């Protein structure tokens, strides 16, 4: 296994960044009035709020919904939790910002109709390249609130005693949005447990070998990440009839020639709608450029990209997560061995904060959210009921929760995604015996060696 290089995260980083980005507090909407949600918000994909995946949180952000979770018998007790979490809501990356800026400049310069008069008179481009994917205030709140809900879900694991005695571990990607998400999660735990924030030893550690494994997998980088042909299906769809109709409808709304609007144009407009809502809680005029059918096309384009770049489209996508898979099961095995030996575990809770690119390949390796028919550029109409929807799987703050229970009949394992129970493919029980889970994934546990699968000469 790749040697894990861990370094302690300096809290000074957080204080520097928070002071630099303090102005963002004014961009968050804190009002007693209910937010008006865009009709197309459910189609924002990986740019979507966690609340769209769990709509009951819109009314109470600290609520837990027991009807969505299956538990073992009352004779069982929780002994370990691993939570693998995506960072919270963030600014657009530089690449996405450039598309947003180009479309905004086009509107200001070339659109003369009254369709966007409100934007032209009242809205100014406030995003900048220097924001490049940084965490926003809403993203910090996402993680603080998740931590407080997890305290409710797992009151016997997330305790003052476990935190004080080092039985709760925090691991993060080195990216600033992940570091700051982890710090916010820590704050949520400390406040939720009514503890004094004086635990110098309770700090997150950076581990990119685990949380950004995809950067270190040579075969993935060369065959997918840096290979344009790996995303041919996305290209074909964006050049196809469904996307062409979206661009033509937008041109009609703006009263400009069809040639003026490209798939990059509509993507830039879609990003403006999505980010204004997720960051500022605004149902902006940008959203009026899309009807529901348009938004479904935009969502499918995004899902195609996730499918072919991070999921079932190419075998190496999922295999690149072997190191995280083995890390998870090694920890679970250790907890089981300790329980069988003396009834206690040294690591009650492990929280690992990464990216959509961290979670999606691992979920794919576990064969979750796999449609019978692969997503392609030509089957949009037949995929309206697909289960592979990135907005439901990996929105901001998406989380994979793996729980071990000690039961009279043996150790059981429960899996939840975004605080909803999942039944693992190939198993019938929602909370199966841990040994049955290991038998189900025996081939991966005995193989799936990171160094082997990531070598370019491996077929």
SS3 for 329-395, per residue?
HHHHHHHHHHHHHHCCCCCCEEEEEECHHHHHHHHHHCCCCCCCCCCCCCCCHHHCCCCCCHHHHCC
Q: Is the pLDDT of residue 29 over 90?
A: no
- Do the beta carbons of residue 397 and residue 50 sit within 8 Å? yes
- Give the whole-number percent of the chain exceeding pLDDT 70: 92
Torsion sign (Cα): 145, 147, 151, 154: positive
Arithmetic mean of pLDDT, 161-169: 95
Residues 451, 459: Cα–Cα separation, whole Å: 13
Q: Is the pLDDT of residue 212 over 90?
A: yes
Q: Which of 87, 143, 145, 326 is catalytic?
A: 87
The 10s digit of each residue's pLDDT in 82-109 is: 999 999 999 999 999 999 999 999 999 9
- Give the whole-number percent of the chain exceeding pLDDT 90: 86
The 10s digit of each residue's pLDDT in 334-379 is: 999 999 998 899 999 999 999 999 999 999 999 999 999 999 999 9
Q: Which residues of 157-192 are buried (b: 16+ CB within 10 A; e: fewer)?
A: bbbeebbeeebbbbbbbebbbbbbbbbbbbbbbbeb
Arithmetic mean of pLDDT, 387-391: 98
Arithmetic mean of pLDDT, 132-156: 98
148 — pLDDT class (breaks 50, 70, 90): very high
Q: Is the pLDDT of residue 317 over 80?
A: yes
What per-residue confidence (pLDDT) applies to 199? Answer: 73
The 10s digit of each residue's pLDDT in 30-64 is: 333 578 999 999 999 999 999 999 999 999 999 99
Round the average pLDDT of the chain to a whole number and report it.
Answer: 91
Alpha-carbon distance values, 98 to 108, 160, 186 (Å): 15, 46, 33
- Do the beta carbons of residue 406 and residue 416 sit within 8 Å? no
120 — pLDDT class (breaks 50, 70, 90): confident
- Do the beta carbons of residue 92 and residue 131 sit within 8 Å? yes
Q: Is the pLDDT of residue 4 over 70?
A: no
What per-residue confidence (pLDDT) applies to 321? Answer: 98
456 — pLDDT class (breaks 50, 70, 90): confident
Burial of 342 (0-12, 13-18, 19+ CB in 10 A): exposed
The strand pairing partners of 353, in sequence order, are: 85, 172
Q: Looking up tokens 């075998």, which residue turns up?
A: 315
165 is catalytic: no
How many C-beta atoms surround the C-beta of residue 126 within 10 A?
10
Burial of 72 (0-12, 13-18, 19+ CB in 10 A): buried
Torsion sign (Cα): 252, 254, 260, 261: negative
Residues 116, 107: Cα–Cα separation, whole Å: 8
Residue 458 parent element (H or E): none
């Amino acid at each position: 296994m790749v040697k894990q290089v861990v370094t302690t995260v300096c809290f000074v980083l957080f204080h520097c960044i928070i002071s630099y980005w303090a102005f963002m507090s004014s961009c968050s909407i804190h009002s007693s009035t209910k937010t008006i949600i865009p009709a197309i918000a459910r189609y924002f994909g990986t740019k979507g709020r966690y609340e769209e995946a769990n709509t009951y949180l819109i009314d109470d952000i600290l609520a837990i919904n027991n009807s969505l979770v299956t538990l073992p018998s009352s004779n069982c007790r929780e002994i370990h939790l691993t939570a693998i979490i995506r960072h919270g809501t963030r600014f657009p990356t530089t690449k996405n910002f450039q598309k947003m800026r180009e479309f905004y400049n086009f509107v200001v310069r070339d659109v003369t109709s009254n369709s966007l008069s409100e934007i032209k008179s009242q809205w100014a481009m406030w995003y900048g390249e220097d924001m490049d994917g940084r965490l926003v205030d809403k993203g910090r709140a996402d993680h603080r609130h998740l931590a407080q809900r997890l305290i409710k879900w797992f009151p016997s694991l997330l305790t003052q005693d476990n935190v004080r005695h080092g039985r709760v571990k925090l691991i993060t990607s080195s990216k600033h949005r992940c570091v700051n998400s982890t710090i916010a999660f820590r704050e949520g735990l400390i406040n939720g447990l009514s503890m004094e924030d004086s635990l110098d030893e309770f700090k997150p550690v950076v581990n990119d070998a685990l949380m950004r494994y995809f950067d270190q997998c040579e075969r993935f980088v060369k065959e997918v990440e840096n290979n344009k042909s790996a995303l041919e299906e996305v290209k074909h769809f964006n050049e196809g009839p469904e996307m062409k109709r979206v661009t033509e409808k937008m041109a009609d709304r703006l009263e400009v020639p069809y040639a003026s609007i490209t798939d990059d144009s509509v993507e830039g407009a879609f990003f403006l709608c999505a980010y204004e809502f997720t960051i500022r809680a605004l149902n902006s005029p940008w959203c009026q450029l899309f009807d529901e059918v348009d938004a479904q096309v935009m969502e499918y384009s995004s899902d195609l990209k996730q499918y072919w770049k991070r999921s079932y489209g190419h075998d190496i996508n999922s295999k690149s997560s072997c190191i995280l898979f083995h890390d998870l099961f090694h920890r679970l095995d250790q907890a089981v061995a300790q329980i069988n030996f003396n009834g206690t575990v040294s690591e009650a809770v492990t929280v690992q904060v990464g990216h959509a690119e961290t979670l999606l390949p691992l979920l794919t390796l576990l064969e979750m959210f796999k449609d019978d028919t692969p997503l392609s550029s030509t089957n949009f109409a037949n995929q309206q009921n697909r289960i592979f929807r990135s907005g439901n799987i990996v929105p901001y703050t998406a989380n994979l929760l793996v729980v071990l229970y000690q039961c009279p009949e043996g150790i059981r394992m429960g899996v939840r995604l975004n605080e909803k129970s999942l039944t693992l493919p190939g198993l019938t029980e929602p909370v199966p015996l841990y040994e049955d889970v290991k038998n189900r994934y025996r081939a991966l546990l005995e193989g799936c060696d990171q160094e082997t699968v990531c070598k370019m000469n491996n077929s």
